[in-house]
């Protein structure tokens, strides 16, 4: 039996078969989930899909939810769903495991979901806030600043 096991994804690859382990599907990432986590995953997906126009796709080890850019993603684990939500602020709540700055305007709030019942407010409110964040950032950029522009400093001449 000629072939090999991929070091990254542990999939068996026949000799001569093309393989890209970073290309995957939602089904492949969620297929191993126990029933309670599968229910939680379906509720997260349904909640996000109801927000409006977006792209939902699998990439590497995560399922991405994106408008123009990714506003949150889910990494399915054995005993929980790791949900990384991009917001303009750090959320202080017991559900949030940690917060990391990802850009000048966004922080990622990392939440672990273990049961379907955890997919309710305030978690769903954070997802909605993340979905709407690009609109708020764009509005902030288009609004002229009310700050006065500083006057140039006078240079004293030495005599």
Alpha-carbon gap, residue 81 to 84, rounded angstroms: 10
* Cβ-based neighbours of 122, under 8 Å, separated by 6 or more: 93, 95
Residue with tokens 């409110």: 125
Of all residues in the chain, the percent with pLDDT exceeding 90 is 60
The predicted pLDDT at position 134 comes to 87
Model confidence pLDDT, tens digit, residues 8-67: 667 788 887 776 665 678 988 999 999 999 999 999 999 999 999 999 988 889 999 999
- Above 90 in pLDDT, residue 75? yes
What are the helix (H) ranges across the chain?
Answer: 26-30, 35-49, 123-142
- Above 80 in pLDDT, residue 83? yes
Q: What are phi and psi of 155, to 5 degrees?
A: -100, 125
- Above 80 in pLDDT, residue 119? yes
The predicted pLDDT at position 14 comes to 84
């Amino acid at each position: 039996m000629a072939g090999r096991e991929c070091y990254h994804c542990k999939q068996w690859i026949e000799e001569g078969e093309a393989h890209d382990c970073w290309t995957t599907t939602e089904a492949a990432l969620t297929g191993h989930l126990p029933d309670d986590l599968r229910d939680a995953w379906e509720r997260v997906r349904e909640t996000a899909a109801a927000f409006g126009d977006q792209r939902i796709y699998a990439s590497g080890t995560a399922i991405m939810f994106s408008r123009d850019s990714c506003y949150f993603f889910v990494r399915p684990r054995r005993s929980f769903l790791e949900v990384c939500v991009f917001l303009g602020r750090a959320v202080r709540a017991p559900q949030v495991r940690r917060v990391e700055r990802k850009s000048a305007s966004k922080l990622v709030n990392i939440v672990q979901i273990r049961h379907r019942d955890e997919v309710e407010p305030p978690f769903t409110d954070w997802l909605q806030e993340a979905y709407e964040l690009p609109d708020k950032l764009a509005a902030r950029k288009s609004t002229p600043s009310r700050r006065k522009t500083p006057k140039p400093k006078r240079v004293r001449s030495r005599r």
